[in-house]
Amino acid sequence: MAVGVTLLIVAVLIIAVWIIIEVKRFKHKLFAIFLIFLILFTYLSFTAVLKGEEIDFKSPVGVKEAGTLYISWLGSIFGNLKTITTHAIDMDWKHINETSTS
């Protein structure tokens, strides 16, 4: 009986160690996937923002202009998200439709 309990405890410890290692690996995989999506988003959005713009990337002025355009585009995205969020918060989210008496 004691051998069976000992084997059970050892098996549980081995499984626990394996699960902890897999969780750590999963965190690293998740971070890698996040970085890949961040790089793809940055590349695709940068090319979309600068499409049709005549910018010379060989000069520092052109690189600065491209950076300014991209940063201003990102700022407008966050401004739009803020506006959408405030409008969503201000909405009447009751499940009962009521008419306003004002």
Question: CA 91 to CA 5: how far, in whole Å?
Answer: 60
- Token pair 């990102």 is at which residue? 74
Q: What string of pLDDT tens digits covers the 102 residues of the chain?
A: 667 778 888 888 889 888 888 888 888 888 888 999 999 999 999 889 888 888 888 899 999 999 999 999 999 999 999 999 998 888 877 777 666 666
Question: CA 70 to CA 81: how far, in whole Å?
Answer: 17
Q: Is the dihedral of CA 94, 97, 98, 102 positive or negative?
A: positive
DSSP 99: -
